[in-house]
Structure 1
């Protein structure tokens, strides 16, 4: 329901919240569709998600991964160790504090994620193939606004 006060539109924040919930649920569904069966058989789903996060956010720390993936620090450390053993990531110590490390994709990890992102891109392009230029521009603008106003760090 839209309300007005002195000719100014009043946003119902509960309604806005409900729309955000519906939107984020839709984002998860589309993400699932775009990434379905994308990971290597040698990786768990969690390991793939960690690599995907590192790809778009590197360098990252263990605590960044833990927070973003909603997993404990011990589990994060264990998964990072497995990914390092598979030569998919590299860790570089930060300055004097050797306990703090930046985590990056290795060359093999970059190649794997580039391949995965190409498949995702192809699926995305298939999904929008019949979208008009006007609608594509509106989607681009909407994504920029959402990133700036809602999802900013």
Structure 2
């Protein structure tokens, strides 16, 4: 298979991934946070301790916009900032207990939707999907970090 065809498949895959993600999160209760704030909280939940720059880079946001949204999330007591032990000039951002509980509830709701999506998929196909995701993570996504 040539790399151009693989790229076209990848573009189609990412488009479909965004559509499925939108469908899975569509009816999830977000406790009066914006979609952008949700993306930030999701990134923090998955990545654990992160910096504002990492969030900015990952979500393609300006650093001032990222800082403004982080301030709003901190005011809502969903995140906390602490000084990095290795480099006191850096601040590390984590979810608070309240933020972690909210995101756990959200992920549980999304998982229910995901289970419905897989309802008619055979166990063999679930295993194949898991293998494909593992392969993507190992061969493609790890190289982009």
Same fold (TM over 0.5): yes
Match of residue 59, structure 2, among 51, 55, 69: 69
- Structure 1's 128 and 99: CA in aligned 2 closer, same or farther, altered over 3 A? same
Q: Distance in 2 between matches of 1:101 and 1:55?
A: 16
In the alignment, does 2:137 pair up with 1:147? yes
State the TM-score, normalizing by the size of structure 1: 0.89
Query: Alpha carbon RMSD of aligned pairs, Å?
Result: 1.2
Tell me which protein shows more helix as a share of its residues. Answer: 2
- 1:60-139 correspondence to structure 2 within 5 Å: 60-95=50-85, 97-139=87-129
> After TM superposition, where is structure 1 displaced by more than 6 Å over at least 4 residues in a row?
none
| 2:16 equivalent in structure 1 | 26
| 1:16 equivalent in structure 2 | 6
| Deviation at residue 38 of structure 1 after TM alignment | 2.0
| Deviation at residue 39 of structure 1 after TM alignment | 4.4
| Bigger shift: residues 90-99 or 119-128 | 90-99
Tell me which protein shows more strand as a share of its residues. Answer: 1
Q: Which runs of 5+ in 1 are unaligned?
A: 1-10
Q: Which runs of 5+ in 2 are unaligned?
A: none
- Structure 1's 39 and 76: CA in aligned 2 closer, same or farther, altered over 3 A? farther
Match of residue 33, structure 2, among 43, 56, 67: 43
Q: Distance in 1 between matches of 2:124 and 2:20?
A: 21
Aligned length: 143
Q: Distance in 1 between matches of 2:31 and 2:47?
A: 24
The C-alpha deviation readout for 1:13-50, integer Å capped at 9, x for no partner, is 11110000000101101100111132424211100110
Q: Choose between structure 1 and 2 for higher RCO, CA contacts under 8 A separated by at least 6 residues.
A: 2
Q: Is the 8 A contact 1:54 1:104 kept in 2?
A: yes
Q: Distance in 2 between matches of 1:80 and 1:47?
A: 8
Query: Larger radius of gyration, structure 1 or 2?
Result: 1
